Amino acid sequence: MIRVLDEARSVDFYARAFGLEVAQRLPFDGFTLLYLRNAEADFEVELTVNHGRTEPYALGDGYGHIAFVVDDLDAEHVRFTESGLNPQPVKEFNHDGALLAKFFFVTDPDGYKIEVLQKHGRYR
């Protein structure tokens, strides 16, 4: 679960970036829960919108993030760039002389860093 400030802005970002759509929207007194998913993967991202909140959330100094695995990282980087999502440059991470991961990060509207990984090795 991640907390977001602007429901429409966040739903638009996750739809454009990762093809996630609202599977369920549950309004409560004081907050709304949104469950986002797509047909390709069996997982959900939960967004929490606290009603009346006007200040951005403090993300803290811990380096936690979510990651999405894609079939063609370079094509996704081009798509993100053309969509105006401002991805960071593609990087490679090696371990013991072999490629461990190829990835880039993108920041969502609330400042959360999201890793996009090339399908490879343990990243499926």
Place of tokens 């454009």: 16
Catalytic residue flag (residue 115) = yes
Q: Which residues on adjacent β-strands are paired with residue 103?
A: 91, 117
103 neighbors 91 (Cβ within 8 angstroms):
yes
Catalytic residue among 7, 44, 76, 115: 115
Q: Could you give the 3-state DSSP secondary structure of residue 45?
A: strand
Alpha carbons 121 and 119: distance in angstroms, whole number:
7
Rounded to 5 degrees, what are φ and ψ at 106?
Answer: -135, 150
Please identify every residue annotated as catalytic.
115
